[in-house]
Structure 1
Amino acid sequence: MPLEMSGQGKVVCVTGASGYIASWIVKLLLLRGYTVKATVRDPKDKKKTDHLLALDGAKERLQLLKANLVEEGSFEHAIDGCEAVFHTASPVALTVTDPQAELIEPAVKGTINVLKTCTKVSSVKRVIVTSSMAAVLSPKPPLGPNDLVDETTFSDPSVCEDEKQWYVLSKTLAEDAAWRFAKANNIDLIVMNPGLVIGPALQPTLNFSVDVVVDFINGDTIGSWTNEGMDMNSMTYKVSVEKLKSLGIELTPTETSLRDTVLSLKEKCLV
């Protein structure tokens, strides 16, 4: 069977489907023939859904469903009948007034909410959670320029709290909770830890990663990175991508991704 139709007859769920990463996951799943049950906070919000409904295969194999991260059981309808679940839904913000309510609770409770539902659905074979480099970038003691981080490194919650890195804390606690729950409930869990995500955007609005590129285009080379102790000048350690390479994934050169990002932003009149 051709790669494009390798998912024919299979049903998968993608949470937070209107986001940057999730939109691409939905696009690629549809191209491969999967039926996708995609969750968004408001299926009627055209700014969040029109780009998904316009994807090849969406008319025949895409279902948009409403779900709320902190509402227990909210994902049951979306996950029912699915073989795999891609959990990407999680708030992204560096400046908040109530870290617990705005970041930590949705990230942690949302992840456990999804995983709990997966334990009730016998058809689910694997869960893929989108974590973040944030979950590895603040260990204790601080990293130096010769230190190497990979998927086994974990940020220290006490460091996050001391430095008021609330987004970092939310992703760290959520990933830790995911691994603990998966181990206790025998869930086949895969966790991805992306860094700054760039490249062509499918959604019509700016997300955090692309907004950083916009800041550079506009001459703001500091931008929001200095908030909450996330200064680019302090991140001098090395990052291992050997696990990715072992899977046969070919990495796109940074220059190419940046160019594609800028072209995409111009096309969408976002710069």
Structure 2
Amino acid sequence: MEMDMNGGGKVVCVTGASGYIASWIVKLLLLRGYTVKATVRDPKDQKKTDHLLALDGARERLQLFKASLLEEGSFEHAIDGCDAVFHTASPVKIIATDPQAELIEPAVKGTINVLATCTKVSSVKRVILTSSMATLHSPNFPLGPNVLLDETTFSDPTMVYTLQDFGRKCGMDVCQGQQLGLGHNESRTRKNTFNRKHHRLVDVRDVALAHIKALETPSAKGRYIIDAPIVTTEEIEKILREFFPDLCIAHENEDIDLNSMTYKVNVEKVKSLGIEFTPTETSLRDTVLSLKEKHLV
């Protein structure tokens, strides 16, 4: 992955910075020379912030700020003086007893809160918003091998149009990125997502770089989808056995209809930003090596 020093002297904000994708965005931004003002719910929570403070360049160019999605104006100090804002903060729960209150309300209110703050800060010219593949399809959206999803596809266009119109009226570019990751930002009640037989996995480094390229490409605008072809549990297991010969994965018949996984996704727009997809084999091997390095396996 190339590391251009495009961010020298530029200040950007990353909300929800301790999150999985956001942490990688912060890491790559620092490597590219940006100064990062990162928001977290509690800057004193070392379990959530130590990995950020340990990043290369963090000592010199990373500041942590306390902010809450539902607290109006709480992002002002972090966004003040920034050239751009990466809004990744959103509640993440695999199981939600009240999805409206636990997921939708804070996600929507938090996004409007951040955008409203950006309108007050004249230096902010672009906002990059982390979204979800749920904006392309929902449980009631028919999927199959003849379905092609692209940036014009909406499961519920109301909110998406609202955000883009909000940005246009306020003179800001709002770039939305849809990404699909195993168990990320989904309120599914599935007991174990790995019990599925089929997966569509994207390397988190590719997702993070796509966010940054959306900032660094002047012509970037609108939505960007980043997705990957289907990979089976058996194919994943075969790669993992390279490291764990005695690996045993319990297969439960909990899979959704394969037909609903065979839809096609046009990813040419995100490729136009200069994103080259990391092969699934490389992602899995690097994941295992990282876990071994940290003595987690």
Give 1:199 deviation, angstroms.
Answer: 5.2
Matched, 1:265 2:250: no
Q: Given that residues 199 and 260 in structure 1 are in contact (C-alpha distance below 8 angstroms), is that contact kept between their aligned partners in structure 2?
A: no
Q: Shift of residue 175 of structure 1?
A: 4.1
1:1-271 superposed matches below 5 A: 4-138=4-138, 141-156=141-156, 175-196=160-181, 197-198=202-203, 219-220=249-250, 231=256, 233=258, 234-271=260-297
Task: Tell whether the 8 Å contact from 1:148 to 1:239 is kept in structure 2 after alignment.
Answer: yes
From the two aligned structures, give the one with the greater helix fraction. Answer: 1
Distance 1:100 1:139, change over 3 A: closer
Are the equivalent residues in 1 in contact too, given 2:37–2:79 (CA < 8 A)? yes
Amino acid aligned to 1:48: K
1:233-269 CA-to-partner distances (Å, cap 9, x unmatched) read 3322111111022222111111111221222233334
Measured in 2, the distance between the counterparts of 1:265 and 1:104 equals: 32
Q: Is the 8 A contact 1:131 1:191 kept in 2?
A: yes
SS of structure 2 residue aligned to 1:255:
helix
Report the Cα distance in structure 1 between the residues aligned to 2:123 and 2:78, rounded to whole angstroms. Answer: 13
- Seen in structure 2, the aligned counterparts of structure 1 residues 141 and 27 have a Cα distance that, compared at 3 Å, is closer
Gaps of 5+ in 1: 157-171, 201-212
Describe the shift of the 1:130–1:199 C-alpha distance in structure 2 as closer, same or farther (beyond 3 A).
closer
**Relative to 1, partners in 2 of residues 1:175 and 1:20: Cα closer, same or farther, differing over 3 Å?**
farther
Q: Distance in 2 between matches of 1:153 and 1:139?
A: 15
Deviations 1:25-64 (CA, angstroms, capped at 9, x unpaired): 1111111111100000111111111111011110011000
TM-score calculated relative to the size of structure 2: 0.72
Alpha-carbon displacement from aligned partner over 1:76-123 (angstroms, at most 9, x marks no partner): 000000000000011122311121221011110011110000000000
Gaps of 5+ in 2: 182-201, 206-232, 238-246
Matched residue, 1:166: none
Q: Provide the rounded CA distance (Å) in 2 between the counterparts of 1:80 and 1:95.
A: 35
Q: What is the aligned-residue RMSD (CA, Å)?
A: 2.7
Q: Which amino acid letter does the alignment assign opposite residue 155 of structure 1?
A: S
In structure 2, what residue type is equivalent to 1:247? L
Contact 2:130–2:176 at 8 Å: present in 1 too?
yes
User: Number of residues paired by the alignment?
Assistant: 237
Cα distance, 1:221 vs structure 2: 5.1
Percent sequence identity over matched residues? 71
